Structures are given as C-alpha cells and as structure tokens.
Amino acid sequence: MDTLPLIKVELIIEVSFETFGQVWYTDENGRPWIKEFRGNSWSKEILLKDNRKLGFSAFLNNQFQSKGQWVKLIKKVDNEVVDQKEFKIDGDKLFDGWFKLG
C-alpha cells in the first residue's frame, strides 16, 4: 500500500501587545473551530493528507485602545511561510473585528 506523507501546516498569530481574543480555523477534516487565547502569540499545528485551503482568522480585543499596534497572521507549510498578512491596529476601538488570512 502506497501512502502519501502528511503535510505539516502551522497557523500562527503574532500580536505587538498583550491581548486576548479568539481564533477561527478549519481542521484536517474541514470542521470549523473557535479557540480563545491570551498573550501576544498563538499557534496550531495541523497534519494534512493533501494541501487544501484552510480557513484562518483572528478576533482581538484592544481594551486599552493601544495605538500603532499590529497583528500578523502566518501560514506555514512544512516550515516554509506560504501566506502572511500584517494588519495595523489604529487604537480608537476596543476591538477591530475579524482579521482574515487568505
């Protein structure tokens, strides 16, 4: 029996300040998940049989209305960055909504 090697996909959030928020992503079976996180980073490793599109977005709270901050969403496949997006946070709201990658 010939089997294909699994593809390692890593979803990463980096934030320039300490915060809390939620992450929405789809797993290896296409199921959606929402997870909460605290701090300035979050990551999830998923092993896939094929390289399909995964949904990935983050919702951040900016309770101190910090100005000049950023959030970065990164997708790595087999340790290589394949998609990355940086969003600026203006600081005049308690939250900026969902930031999406892809």
Position 50 pLDDT exceeds 80: no
pLDDT at residue 39 in the model: 94
The Cβ of residue 36 has, within 10 Å, a number of other Cβ atoms equal to 10
Mean confidence (pLDDT) of the chain: 87
- Listing DSSP states for 6-40 in one string gives PEEEEEEEEEEEEEEEEEEEE-TTS-EEEEEEEEE
End-to-end CA distance of the chain: 35
Mean pLDDT of 65-69: 77
pLDDT at residue 83 in the model: 94
This prediction's pTM: 0.86
Domain architecture of the chain: domains with CATH? 7-100 (2.60.40.2880)
pLDDT tens for 11-40 read 999 999 888 899 999 988 889 999 999 999
pLDDT at residue 59 in the model: 92
